[in-house]
Amino acid sequence: VKVINSAPELRAELEIARKKSRVGFVPTMGYLHQGHLSLVDIAKQKANFVVVSIFVNPMQFNNSEDFQKYPINIERDLELLQSRNIDLVYIPTVSDIYPNKVKVTLNPGELAAQFEGEFRPGHFEGVLTVVSILFNQVQPDLAVFGEKDFQQLTLIRKMVSDLQFPIEIIEGPIVREESGLAMSSRNSRLSEDGKKQAKALSFLLETFFKTLSEGNNSNLRDLKKLSINKTKDYYPAFDLEYFEIVNQDTLEKFPDDSKSSEILINSPRGLVAGYIEGVRLIDTAGF
Ligand code: AMP
């Protein structure tokens, strides 16, 4: 697999490729797992020239410990990508992405005020800024992002639509461990017991949607309380940060007194974040 380490080199390679190929792009922060590879497979189906980038973007980390401890293993990543037969791996340096001290950044707008954006101030400004820089460097026809980072996916779609990037955004479903735990590079920081406790996030989503679909016309406040309490009983090590039920098209929260029947017919999606062993994890599910 061809590895490119600088922006000018990338430009030269892509100038040739773009003439005859549909370019697909999968941006990642590395420490790849099957979730990332599933996005690569989607890109391979839809494009005939696929670029994967690996860049741990300092600008999107609001917590310096999270950044310092973010796992990196380029050698292993390249081995995994080798098996996927992609065309280019772009591994830029910080100065390839941010040649100047960045002063012009992207304002993600009101969709970023809640959930991840609320608990990680500046996160989405960093994400949208780096994604727009990468889009300008790669100029892909399409790019694939994971459902796992649902608010991020929504914001990227919004950015592409509002700022008129001529790029098709494709969503890849969440890949999970057999236990139900959503794959994440951060899972590598968990102990064996931590991995078991980390099932709390998918358990909470499953419990909530199961209770919701059983009806009984309960209200959202009670349904949430019930599923959170059950999750805390089973997974005491889980430190919940937020659990919200939103309409998946608008990301608007359902009011606490909404009835289950109303929620069910309005494309509900659960968004959850929390800590296990000091590692921050997120998960999501729709219905
Ligand atoms: P990251 O390396 O965490 O920035 O993720 C790169 C891309 O992979 C993003 O579009 C994520 O949403 C996606 N992704 C992360 N985890 C998973 C997963 N378990 N299943 C599918 N896609 C994922």
Q: Are 22 and 57 in contact (CB under 8 A)?
A: no
Task: Give the per-residue pLDDT at 216.
Answer: 77
- Of the candidates 120, 130, 119, the one whose C-alpha atom is nearest the C-alpha of residue 29 is 130
Angle between helices 7-20 and 123-138 (to 10 degrees): 60
Residues with CB under 6 A from ligand 1: 28-29, 35-36, 38-39, 145-146, 148-149, 172, 174-175, 182-185
Catalytic residue status for 33: no
Ligand 1 centre and the CA of 149: distance in Å?
A: 7
Asked whether the predicted pLDDT for residue 115 surpasses 90, the reply is: yes
Residue-wise pLDDT for 13-59, tens only, equals 999 999 999 999 999 999 999 999 999 999 999 999 999 999 999 99
Cα(276)–Cα(280) distance, rounded to whole angstroms? 7
| Residue of 36, 44, 186, 189 marked active site | 36
- Of the candidates 181, 182, 203, 195, the one whose C-alpha atom is nearest the C-alpha of residue 35 is 182
Task: Give the per-residue pLDDT at 229.
Answer: 98
Question: Phi, psi at residue 245, to the nearest 5°?
Answer: -115, 120
Residue-wise pLDDT for 128-154, tens only, equals 999 999 999 999 999 999 999 999 999
The total of other beta-carbon atoms located within 10 Å of residue 126's CB is: 20
Kindly report the pTM of this predicted structure: 0.98
